[in-house]
Amino acid sequence: MRGGWFGVLLFLCLAAALLFLTLPIAAIFVDSSPGELIDSLGEQGALDALWLSLRTTAAAIVIILLVGTPAAYLLATRSFRGKALVVTLIELPLVLPPAVAGIGLLAAVGPSGILGGTLDAAGIELSLTTAGVVVALTFVASPFYVRQAMAAFAAVDRSLLDASRTLGASEARGFLRVMIPVAVPGLAAGTALALGRALGEFGATLMFAGSFQGITQTVPLAIYDRFSTDFAAALALSAVLVAVSGAILLSVKLVQGGAALGGWQAD
């Protein structure tokens, strides 16, 4: 290896990081037999949690994509006074402790929150409901997507948008036909980050929506619920979460690799 002792140092650091990061994940699979895993998954509570996690995450991601994509495009293509402040406010939930996010949601849209009365009058109940889970997931996950999508749009050559306009396309058409397809690798990466964050969301959901089986108990809450009484079941659910998260990461890599192979990413 080039670089003598420095090269050895680099190599050792990578080896340490790799070991530290993969050991717990490997342990989840090593510590439980495949038979036990499948048995534990047959339990109704586990199935409810899985189904709920998938539904709420999917709903949150749809909301994040529909609202976050145009918002990120605006932030990436326009400059206006106070833009830095707007970006900072959008990024704030990234560094917020989940418990703070839960309290904040309760104070804002909880039954006695500042918008609680308005929502109640409209017949919308969020806290301790499945809809509340979606709100919590959207709140914690959307900054991951918006940030990444902003960077993806900002990296697109502005002359493409200009070209689209001089070719008779409105800005909306250029956004749909040019900007989004060209930014797809970055948007996919942002979606994956948000998906991962939403799937693993724990603190804000627990505080805002509670942990009721089939209603608000997502997989991370179900794992927490079981780990002191039924460690095998907790392990089995964890294994499923690892598999789903791994699949998400892999599909993003494939989307990005496919784009690069198509010859327009590295261009």
Q: Indicate the Cα dihedral angle 163, 167, 173, 177, nearest 10°.
A: -60
Among 160, 176, 250, 254, binds other proteins (CB under 8 A): 160
Under rule CB under 8 A, residue 182 binds other proteins: yes
Under rule CB under 8 A, residue 253 binds other proteins: no
Query: What is the DSSP track for 24-61?
Result: HHHHHHHSS-HHHHHHHHTSHHHHHHHHHHHHHHHHHH
Token reading at 183: 């930014």
How far apart are CB 56 and other proteins at their closest, in Å? 32
Under rule CB under 8 A, residue 149 binds other proteins: no
Among 49, 152, 178, 252, binds other proteins (CB under 8 A): 178
Query: Between vectors from CA 33 to CA 31 and to CA 34, what angle results, nearest 5°?
Result: 130
Among 27, 94, 120, 177, binds other proteins (CB under 8 A): 177
How far apart are CB 185 and other proteins at their closest, in Å? 11
Under rule CB under 8 A, residue 88 binds other proteins: no
Under rule CB under 8 A, residue 28 binds other proteins: no
Under rule CB under 8 A, residue 35 binds other proteins: no
Site pattern 194..223 for other proteins (x: CB under 8 A) = ------------------------------
How far apart are CB 178 and other proteins at their closest, in Å? 6
How far apart are CB 163 and other proteins at their closest, in Å? 4
Among 164, 211, 216, 218, binds other proteins (CB under 8 A): 164
Complex with other proteins: residue 231 or 264, whichever CB lies closer: 264
User: What DSSP designation does 175 have?
Assistant: I
Is residue 218 a contact partner of residue 244, using CB atoms and an 8 Å limit?
no
- H helices present in the chain, as ranges: 5-30, 34-41, 44-77, 83-95, 98-109, 116-121, 130-154, 158-166, 171-174, 180-199, 203-209, 219-226, 231-261
List Cβ neighbours of 82 (8 Å cut-off, separation of 6 or more): none
Under rule CB under 8 A, residue 157 binds other proteins: yes
Complex with other proteins: residue 166 or 229, whichever CB lies closer: 166
Task: Give the residue from 218, 159, 215, 151 showing the smallest Cα distance to 186.
Answer: 151
Is residue 205 a contact partner of residue 128, using CB atoms and an 8 Å limit?
no
Q: How many residues bind other proteins (CB under 8 A)?
A: 23
Residues that bind other proteins (CB under 8 A): 157, 159-160, 162-171, 177-178, 181-182, 184, 262-264, 266-267
